Amino acid sequence: MAEKKKLILVSNDDGIDARGLHSLIEIAKKLGDVFVVAPEKGQSGMSHSISLTTPLRVRFIQQSESLTICAVPGTPVDCVKLAINQLLPRKPDIMLSGINHGSNSAVSVIYSGTMGAAIEASLYGIPSIGFSVLDHSPLADFSIPLNHAKRIILKVMGEGLPHQVSLNVNFPRIDLKDFKGFKICKQTKGVWNEDFEKRIDPHGLDYYWLTGSFLNDEPENEDSDEWALANNFAAIVPIKIDFTEYKTIETLKNWNL
């Protein structure tokens, strides 16, 4: 009996037409049967949000034995939930999210719809990986992941991941020839220094546009994802679901509430 092909769930947060998504589909097609459920439109920055008051409809774009592509007018997490609970023929062997146009390193991971989708899949015990490239352009160059992402996908498919752990993989924006490989990292400590730029619309009314820059608290830490990316490595950070700060539990117990 022929071995059953792997089933790979793919989603993203940049929307069904994003170049990064279709680059990831090209990678996944070489590794198994692919089922794509992605947002109808861009959903960047949606993190783990879900649609509670809007019905979700599915628009099938392509259906074949080895590749199904469909779009949902919801968030990345909506897409993963709907795929697992209604659309997939069985539990997928792996879930891939991305490839995101722009970085999801450091604290950006908590805002990321790309990682929201990967983390949601991990809640179901599905090994999952979120991929990003440090280039926000719609025409971003995905040469590095197209040449190298297969290695880590195969490794996860073969070795698995701990329960409810996903991988956050960010690729630098450099020439393919300058890529140094993968580096296992920790999430960089830092925060976004946000600034709301005040503007005036054509009707003379004020509005505000979010801008800002990342303040790295540990720029010399060679174990951090920001350092890896700045030095031409792809950064791999394992992400867990549990937000509990265990060291503080005993302190809080002493509060005698």
Res 164: pLDDT:
96
| pLDDT score at 197 | 85
Residue 46 in any domain: the answer is yes
* Element housing 123 (H / E): helix 113-123
Q: Is residue 206 part of a domain?
A: no
Contact between 133 and 146 under an 8 Å Cβ cutoff? The reply is no
Burial of residue 135 (number of CB atoms within 10 Å: 0-12, 13-18, 19+) = buried
**Count of structural domains, the chain:** 1
- The reported pLDDT for the residue numbered 219 is 84
Q: Which residues of the chain have pLDDT under 70?
A: 1-3
Strands (E), 94-151: 94-101, 128-133
Evaluate if pTM is beyond 0.75: yes
Query: Is residue 98 in a domain?
Result: yes
- Which structure tokens are listed for 215? 């303040």
Residue-wise pLDDT tens digits, 174-194: 999 999 999 999 999 988 777
Nearest by Cα to 182 from 172, 192, 193, 195: 172
Query: Domain with 161 in it: what CATH number?
Result: 3.40.1210.10
pLDDT per position as a tens digit, 97-122: 999 999 999 999 999 999 999 999 99
The verdict on whether omega for the bond into residue 99 sits within 30 degrees of 0, i.e. cis, is: yes
- What confidence tens digit (pLDDT) does each residue in 204-214 have? 898 888 777 77
Structural domain contains residue 159: yes
Structural contact between residues 97 and 114, judged by C-beta atoms closer than 8 angstroms: yes
Residue 150: what pLDDT?
97
Residue 148 lies in a domain: yes
Give a yes or no: residue 172 inside a domain.
Answer: yes
With respect to residue 196, please indicate whether it lies within any of the assigned structural domains. no
Give the residue numbers spanning the domain of 152: 7-189+219-253
Given phi > 0 = left and psi -120 to 50 = alpha, else beta, which region is 64?
beta
